Amino acid sequence: MSPTYGAPEVSAQAVRAGRGDRVAFKASCPDCRARFELDAGALRLAIGGSRRTTFYSFTCPECGAPVRKPAGERIVELLTGGGVNTLRSV
């Protein structure tokens, strides 16, 4: 199955988790339209040399669809600040 492309819809919020704060990212799936929270480990961020090659991706926990969405400056800032693994390419 090919990745689904859509408008960026990720936001971050600190969530109390026992011993401290963890960051949860709110996201949605354009295939099944589910809304959910993802931990940093469930997201991947690729920063390329252009807008086309800068994106984040994840697998929908509801339907299993691969999702790939563009990442502008604000999204990159949120994801990197929240501990999402980042791949930088030149």
Per-residue pLDDT tens over the stretch 6-61:
444 555 544 444 445 678 999 999 999 999 999 999 999 999 999 889 999 999 99
What's the whole-number mean pLDDT along residues 59-72?
Answer: 96
pLDDT greater than 80 at residue 67 = yes
pTM score of the predicted model: 0.75
Run of H or E residues at 74: helix 73-81
Q: Which whole number is the average pLDDT over 59-86?
A: 95
d(CA 65, CA 59): 6
Q: How many Cα atoms occupy the beta-carbon half-sphere of 59 within 13 Å?
A: 6
Looking at per-residue pLDDT, the higher value among 56 and 2 belongs to 56
Type of residue numbered 64: G
**What pLDDT does residue 10 have?**
59
